[in-house]
Structure formats: C-alpha cells, structure tokens
Structure 1
Amino acid sequence: MLIVRPVTHNDLPALERLAIICGGRLTTLPANRDHLSSIISSTQRSLKQLNHEPGGESFHFVLENQATQEIIGVSGIEAVIGLKWPFYNYRISSVVHASPELQIHNRIPALHLCQDYAGSTRLCTLFIDPQYQREHHYQLLSKARLLFINLALSRFAERTIVELQGVLDKEGKSPFWECLGKHFFSMDIAKAIYLVGINSNAFIATLMPQYPVYAPLLSKEAQAILGKPREDVTFNMELLKQEGFQHRGYMDIFDAGPTLEADTKKLKTISNSQQCQPVIGERTSPEPSVDQWYLVSNQLQPQYRCMLIPFNPEQPVLSEAEASALLLSKGDHIQYSPVQLSTPN
C-alpha cells in the first residue's frame, strides 16, 4: 500500500538517497544534507502555521511503501515564489525590426530575462526512484499535492506553475547551457543548479545577461530545444497538460526547459474534488471497478495522508487498512478526486 505524507526528520537518510540517485538534476533536490534537513524543517514549520493568505511556506511530501516503510519518491510545493529570493525565467517573445524605406519588417524571437512568475505557487521536487517509476506512482505523488492545496486554497496563489527539465544531448550536456549560460557563469550546469538548490542564487542577477538574447544568434542545437522537455519527462508534461497546465512561452534560464502555468482553482484535481463521510469496514457491495481510480485523502493538514485506490463515491466504503493508512476515525470526512490512468496498475 502506497501513501503520500509530509516529510519528517526520520526521512532524512531516504531523502539523501533519492538526492544522490537524482544526480543533481533538480535544483530543489541537491545532495546536500544541511539543505535537505532545512526542507524537512520548513515543511514541519509550515504545517504548524495557520496562515490564511499566501506566504513563504514550503511543503514536501514523500511516497512511502507502507508494507516495507521504504521511501520511494518525493515532491514539493512552494506556496509563493519570489519573496525571499528572485525567481527568474526567460520569456520568449518577438522583437520587431522594420525599415519602411526598404520595406523590410522582421519579427525576431528573443529571450527576455524576467520575474513574471514571482508571487505564484510552484510545484517542485517531483522525483521517484527509477525502479519504481510507474504512471500510478507519478499520478499519486504529483496530484496528492493538489488535494493538499485544496484543503486550504487561501494559503496558495491564484496561479500555479511547474518547471520541467530541458533537453540534454547524448553526452548529458545541455545545448542551451553550452551555447549561452556557461559563457556568463564560467561553471558547468550541474554546479549552477546546485548553487540555486542551496539558495545561493544571488549570482544570477549579477552574471546573467540583462539584455534580450536573440534566438537566431544561438546555435541550431540550442534553438531546437527552446521550451522543450527532456525526453524522459515528456510523459509528465502530457499529464500536466491534461491537468490543465499550459506552456505560455516561459522557460528555464539554465537548460531552456518549459515552465507551465495554470489557474490553481481550475486544475482538474481541485475542481473535480468532493467530500464525503465514508463507511469504514467490509464492503457489502461489489468491489469498485479497476477503472474507478480516485485520489482519496484525509482533511488533516499536519497529518495529511493521500492514497490512489479504486473507490466508488456512490457507495463510499474504505477498508480498515485504508482508513488506518489515512489516519481516519469513524465519522471523519475525506476528500476525493478521480484519476484517469492510461496504463494498468
């Protein structure tokens, strides 16, 4: 039985293991014990706060196999970005160069350094141990965050964003970074990502080019990957689009991966969510169809628990084991939201 719950300090060794496996690909999951410990502390501190408006809280969750107590994945939410540290993106838009005398009118795509997403909620740190990477694991670990947001929408921004990693070449290098970033930062992309991950990102403002970068001046390899995700996260992008996220021309400043955005309340997991008081015990009716998969969570922020299980809202029955995993007592309410799986569990 798999469960998503808030990370605790007992999970630090497991987080370190996942960070090492991740190999520094995520800015929010650096292999740095002190920073990982601060992620846990921030989560526990944020869970205890009773804010009713967006602030600087962050929440991280783990995907746990309850049978083995193994932590196989991690994901996170930043309630608001750009408050303590600047949050940079490149915005791709056209610059017009025209000459009426020569009857020439050119629209040239250019990359503009911006902080347009400051003040948004960000979904981050989605990573699952490769040996457990299955669609239903991704759906649970990713969308459980949205049901958590739904518990207290006022604590989060009206807009939610998510970043996807950009394309790498056969040698594991980013064509975009090799063409642009390394000339300004004088370091490899892994180090830049690591520094941002441990909140040492003041260097971005001083080293990054402040003027628009004309896309045609980039190498053909770099131009070809602008705003495109790495091959192994393409499936994630499709799931996010199905959820309601859209790409509006923003991308990561390091690897040119796409940044997606959505109206928080219109995300399908949130807009389709409902509440009920389940019956706890043995089912007297037929088992729910395996086509009826639902995210089911309790309504306790500090002790949040979420599962992905077959469930019938018309006859809402949870087994004793499911109720125990969700920390439910008789009379407690749950929230649930349907999930469409494209592959069998």
Structure 2
Amino acid sequence: MSARLDEAQVSPGRKSSPAPGRSEGDDGGEALASRTVEICFLLMRNFSLLSFASAIEPLRIANKVLKRKAFTYRCCSLDGSDAVASNGSTIRADCAIGDVERPDLLAVCSSDDVERIGLTLAQKVAIRKLANRSSRIAGICTGAYVLADFGLLDNRNCTIHWEYADFFKERFPDARLVDSLIQTDGKYMTCAGGTSALDLMIGFVAQVHGGAVAADVAEIALHHDWRSGNERQHKHMRDDLESVSQRVRSSIALMTENVVEPLSLQEIAQKLDVSPRQLQREFQKYLKCSPQEYYAKVRLDIARQLVCRTSMRMIDIAMACGFASASHFSKRYRSALGTSPAADRQQHGRVFEF
C-alpha cells in the first residue's frame, strides 16, 4: 500500500483530481476502498475536543453514506485511562496505545500546552513503534508538535495551529512549516486544528472512496465550503489594512512570516524590489509609523498571544519572537504594554493546572 494521501475536492459527477499543493500518484485508494479502514485516535492530555470531533464525525457520516462500516475508529490514550480535553470534558479511551496493532491511520490529537506533556521512556517507545506500524499518520491541531518531537517531520512539509507556529519553527528547524490549514507529505498529514480537521478527514474520505462520497459527507455535515487546505491561517495584523497599498501589505506578510529571525528593512525592500526609503514613505503615509515600528508591533502581538494563551516559558517566547534575551523581551513588552509578560499572563492569561 502506498503511503501517499492525495485527496480530491470535487463535487458529485466531477472527475477526482488532487487538491492544490498535492502531487498526483498511486495512493492505494482502491485497495483501501475494498476493505474496512481502521483509524486510531491517540488523545493526548488536554487535547482539543473541537478538533477531535471535527475529525471523527466525517467517518461516522461516511459509514452512513456508504451504508456499511467502511471506517472503524477507536480512541486510545497513553495508559488506557480516559482522556481529558482542554475544555474539561472526558472521552472514554478504548485502550492504551500499546494495545493498538497496525492502524491504517494514526491520528495524534493535542492542543494547548503540548510542550508540557511529559512522556515516559516507555510511552515514547510505544508511540514510535505505533507510528512505524501505521500506514498513515495525522497530527491534528498541535499534534504536529508531538510528531516533530520524534523527528518524524524532519525535512517534511507540515502545519500547526498559528499560536504555536513561531515556537515550532524555533524548536524544530528541520521541519518545513507551512502557513496553511492542511499539509500532506508522504504518509504524514497535519492540520491546524479547529474545523480544519473536518476538511482533512473529508479529504481522507475522498482519497479512499472518491470525491462523490466525500461531497455527500460534506453536504450532510453542512460543510458547504469544503476547503482544499491551502488556505492560510490567522494573520497577525493589528490595523485595518484594506486601504493600504499592495506593497505595504506584502511587507507586512514578510514580517509575519519572519518572526523568529526578523528581516532588516534592507532585506524586506530587496525582496519587494523597492528602495528602503520608498517603504519608509509608504508606511508613514498609510500607517503613520515606520516599517521597523510596525514590525515591532507584529512581533509583540504574537508574543502576547503566546503569553496569554499558552504556558510556554518566557525565554521560549522571547526566542520564538526574535528577541535576543528574556530580559530584552520583558523590557520591550513592558514599554509597549505597560506591564510585564508574567503580570499580563497572571491577569489575562489562562490558569494552568497540571
């Protein structure tokens, strides 16, 4: 069986074709379609219930459309105990990870604080063994972090929820992170979480049983805008940019894509084939600030999201947002926002209880 996943986004009656950004090839869909496909969801501590539900429901609906058990699915946890989601809900685990033999798809579901999940040596061995035995592997929401931590995404295209993107790039420089909803590379699939898991799994149904079945699944799920996965995620832009020039928007896009290692004004200008002085004039005209000042806003916006929405260490946030040190980051943070990162987290951030 080939490990490639080339899902097709088509309507009934249309010829199936690979989604944009995915290569065409022999993906083994016919072999999978002739039998029951087994999916195992590995629910990590604090997993996203929204992403998990978005991933599992298309399989149930596909069975309904096909009028048979085309897909079987079960949930496992690291030790077999029930899994607690990030919203406090509990999902019953069918088994421990060590009890799973050889699924067609292993879907690793995670969410906030993935970097704080402490895995024992035995658990690491079990995950790696199961990944090696699985025909396909999906990282859902921050599940890509778990896969990358094992080196499974080295030199592969992948994606992760935008809140973790900059930290991920610094932590796993050998993984090729792409700002998209879904990425597929070989047998590895990753999605940004939220409802993008719905698009990923409908695409998997399309690969196995064709675009017409997948379109029926999307229709029943009332998911009329089934996305290919190439769409970009959240953009960190503080201001209303509808009225600014295309050159300014392109400059800001470069800024948001280069946060870990910020570009100089000269580098941005060179990439856009314009002089630094011209960029300075356009930023002053449209945004009443210099490009460097706006770049600092972008980086601090991202940093504050990480401070208030994750449990990342301040030094890790500083490095992920291009600051030379934690003290430099804290000084800039206080100057811009009037409070320290630690105080801001305590006042506006989440409560972490592990």
Indicate the TM-score class for this superposition, using the shorter chain for normalisation. Answer: under 0.3
- TM-score w.r.t. length of structure 2: 0.23
- Normalized per residue, the structure richer in helix is 2
More strand by share: 1
